[in-house]
């Protein structure tokens, strides 16, 4: 038996609230780099453990720090004076029986591959230094992986929350960053780097977007050229937003720290397309949630999913699954405006049997909770019953990152 609670709450749906704030950090933002690389390390460790041992062993590769390098930006092309330092931390099994695995090699290989595939101007051999501090875990946590049972026990007592649907503003912020970092946009505007941050706020039906867009100095000939190109990017983005529609008014501001007359020091230039090259450091857990955004006015899980193992760490499993269950409920149950799903684990208890699964719904006028409570409970049970399949999807990276 599972403890599943369903309640109707008088929460005003986000789209109906007067004020909303949402953020999205793009692929080249230092925090996103950390999250993405540690998730790549997780996927690579999954493959190595399965290949060598037939199953996933204990690890949590969810601590990472990116220390910005040092560059000299110049119109026409600057230089990297000191490389980026990427540090990998936490725990990973390095030996099982008589067989050893080089966790350090796995981590560095995964990082280099991700950088090569996602950051056009960063050379993973020249521009980044790697430091791996993934040590063996505690005896008790490691022992979880040796215990019998089809599903492992939760490695922690923790809670996660997910919701559905995304609000109009959340979708707008997400779409804006994806547009600016799309391959088609980069072909047309190669001077734009991957480091994009979109901060959006809505008041009633008017939205203001403030965007930080890194420019790559090798494509910029002068200060005048920079401002001309920035305006071209703004014009293109405004055309996209106008065609997309959805709001009474959308105002866009870009690189608002820029000041004319100060040459390189007065504009947002990078050498490598990311502020990690010389301005901004990063850390796992400070970036986007598992649904791709930072929704400042929603409840959020306290743990980052990136880098955590997908078979016992509820910080990943419940973080992603809570959103998936919320989406299923919203899409399948009529008469709901919003759905929030909370999953609470108890350390050692099988991950398909949370200590509490709580669903909060906003019911549309004319509907009663009693009409849909049974259906909601059925969906929660159904999704928890398929936990083994869901974990396999996590292992194979079919459901996360979004």
Q: 195-242: per-residue pLDDT in tens?
A: 999 999 999 999 999 999 999 999 999 999 999 999 999 999 999 999
Contacts of 295 (CB under 8 A, 6+ apart): 22, 167, 170, 289
- 40-82 pLDDT, tens digit per residue, is 999 999 999 999 888 888 899 999 999 999 999 999 999 999 9
Query: Quick one: what percent of the chain has pLDDT higher than 70?
Result: 96
Residue 68 lies in a domain: no
Burial of 51 (0-12, 13-18, 19+ CB in 10 A): exposed
Residue 249 belongs to domain with CATH number: 3.30.300.340
pTM greater than 0.85 = yes
Whole-angstrom distance, CA of residue 281 vs CA of residue 154: 32
Confidence of residue 397 (pLDDT cuts 50, 70, 90): confident
Res 16 pLDDT > 60: yes
Confidence of residue 377 (pLDDT cuts 50, 70, 90): very high
Name the phi and psi angles at 348, rounded to 5: 90, -20
Whole-angstrom distance, CA of residue 89 vs CA of residue 369: 46
Residue 231 lies in a domain: yes
Whole-angstrom distance, CA of residue 46 vs CA of residue 37: 14
Contacts of 228 (CB under 8 A, 6+ apart): none
Instruction: Give the chain's domain count.
Output: 1
Residue 186 lies in a domain: yes
- 267-297 pLDDT, tens digit per residue, is 999 999 999 999 999 999 999 999 999 999 9
pLDDT value at residue 212: 98
Residue 228 lies in a domain: yes
Which structural domain, as residue segments, surrounds residue 232? 19-25+168-283
Whether the bond into 250 is cis, omega within 30 of 0: no
Residue 190 lies in a domain: yes
pLDDT value at residue 137: 63
Residue 117 lies in a domain: no
């Amino acid at each position: 038996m599972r403890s599943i609670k369903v309640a109707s709450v008088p929460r005003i749906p986000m789209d109906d609230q007067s004020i909303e704030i949402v953020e999205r950090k793009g692929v080249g933002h230092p925090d996103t780099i950390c999250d993405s690389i540690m998730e790549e390390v997780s996927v690579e460790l999954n493959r190595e453990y399965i290949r060598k041992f037939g199953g996933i062993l204990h690890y949590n590769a969810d601590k990472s720090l990116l220390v910005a390098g040092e560059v000299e930006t110049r119109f026409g092309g600057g230089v990297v004076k000191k490389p980026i330092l990427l540090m990998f931390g936490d725990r990973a099994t390095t030996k099982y029986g008589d067989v050893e695995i080089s966790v350090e090699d796995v981590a560095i290989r995964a990082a280099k591959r991700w950088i090569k595939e996602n950051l056009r101007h960063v050379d993973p051999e020249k521009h980044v230094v790697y430091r791996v501090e993934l040590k063996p875990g505690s005896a008790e946590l490691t022992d979880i992986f040796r215990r019998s049972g089809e599903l492992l026990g939760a490695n922690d007592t923790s809670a996660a929350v997910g919701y559905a649907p995304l609000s109009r503003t959340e979708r707008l912020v997400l779409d804006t960053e994806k547009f600016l970092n799309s391959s088609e946009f980069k072909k047309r505007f190669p001077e734009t780097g991957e480091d994009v941050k979109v901060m959006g706020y809505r008041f009633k039906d008017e939205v203001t977007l403030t965007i930080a867009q890194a420019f790559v100095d090798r494509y910029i000939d002068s200060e005048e050229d920079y401002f001309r190109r920035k305006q071209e990017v703004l014009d293109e983005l405004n055309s996209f937003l106008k065609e997309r529609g959805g709001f009474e008014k959308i105002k866009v501001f870009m690189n608002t720290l820029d000041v004319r007359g100060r040459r390189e020091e007065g504009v947002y230039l990078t050498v490598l397309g990311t502020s990690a090259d010389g301005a901004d450091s990063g850390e796992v857990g400070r970036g986007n949630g598992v649904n791709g955004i930072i929704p400042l006015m929603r409840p959020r899980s306290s743990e980052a999913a990136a880098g955590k193992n997908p078979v016992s760490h509820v910080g990943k499993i419940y973080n992603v699954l809570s959103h998936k269950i919320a989406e299923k409920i919203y899409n399948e149950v009529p008469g709901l405006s919003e759905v929030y799903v909370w999953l609470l684990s108890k350390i050692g208890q099988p991950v398909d049997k949370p200590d509490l699964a709580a669903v909060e719904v906003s019911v549309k006028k004319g509907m009663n909770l009693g009409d849909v409570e049974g259906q909601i409970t059925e969906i929660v049970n159904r999704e928890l019953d398929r936990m083994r399949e869901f974990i396999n999807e996590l292992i194979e990276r079919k459901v996360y990152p979004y």
